[in-house]
Structure 1
């Protein structure tokens, strides 16, 4: 089984280059992690021949995770999000070290008039018999909330209104 995520987030009155720069900004990614109550976070950015590779590592506590998933996760959930950007599109791989499954897909930035649409398309796969579907649903919900949280912080960040 697999669960698909399709989310379109809007950044009004800006351009693709400005929104793309957020992904590689350590201060912005740190603010997003803090907004989501991450226990810790780290961002590395490396240039590639035709873009850049971003590795965003963060960890969440499990206090708000259902008990069936908490048994599998332990005390915290470390997450590694790798984005390989080529212009206005990124290939995305999200993994939880030591756990079966992954989240793969793309992030695309599109100029739509004066606004930028960030289109997130991911597929969640968890290879655990019996409970894999439940965990896929849980992870899909968490990733959707995370994308919306990043957008919320991004809107305030671009407007110069973000306060840590």
Structure 2
């Protein structure tokens, strides 16, 4: 199942990238969606990019009962973004991997920061959510998709607040 979301931040790419690689921003993002506050790890990669790993515990209240019976009342979601160097225009691309621990569900894709103007950056998330089990994988994908979309909506809101200094 494709998960796509785009939004525009009122800041240049360099500022948005600085935000994305700031531990305080990642913690705010994690705390907004995790039942336990989550954990955040940031590291610089050998090529000068960044590796960001965020683990969150999410409720499964919105999951169908048969799926919740398989996964429990919460799921642990580990998101990894591996950011490369800036392009000539300042754009950035990250490989995105999301693993739902204890389940066959996962998502792979990209996060892209693209300059819209000197003062605006578009962030695009393009992922492929997989249920991982023949026959019922589609049901798992449909159950998990709203949690992924909610997390992206929170990321947009928190990023806008962060860039505004709130």
For the 8 Å contact 1:4–1:140, the answer to whether it is kept is no
Q: Is the contact between residue 81 and residue 93 of structure 1 (CA under 8 Å) also seen in structure 2?
A: yes
TM-score, normalising length from structure 2?
Answer: 0.87
Alpha-carbon separation, structure 1, partners of 2:31 and 2:45: 28
Distance (Å, rounded) in 2 between the aligned partners of 1:82 and 1:97:
13
Q: Is the 8 A contact 1:82 1:92 kept in 2?
A: yes
TM superposition outliers: structure 1 runs of 4+ over 4 Å: none
Does the alignment pair 1:124 with 2:121?
no
Structure 1 equivalent of residue 98 of structure 2: 94
In the alignment, is residue 17 of structure 1 matched against residue 14 of structure 2?
yes
Counterpart in the other structure of 1:142: 147
CA shift, 1:22, in A, is 2.2
In structure 2, the partner of 1:82 is: 80
Q: Secondary structure at the match of 2:69?
A: helix
Aligned match of 1:6: 4
Q: How many residue pairs end up in the alignment?
A: 158
User: In 2, Cα distance between the equivalents of 1:39 and 1:61?
Assistant: 10
Contact 1:39–1:61 (Cα < 8 Å) also in 2: no
Query: Which runs of no fewer than 5 residues in structure 2 stay unpaired?
Result: 86-91
Counterpart Cα distance in 2 of 1:150 and 1:124? 18
How far did residue 137 of structure 1 move?
1.9
- Secondary structure, aligned partner of 1:143: helix
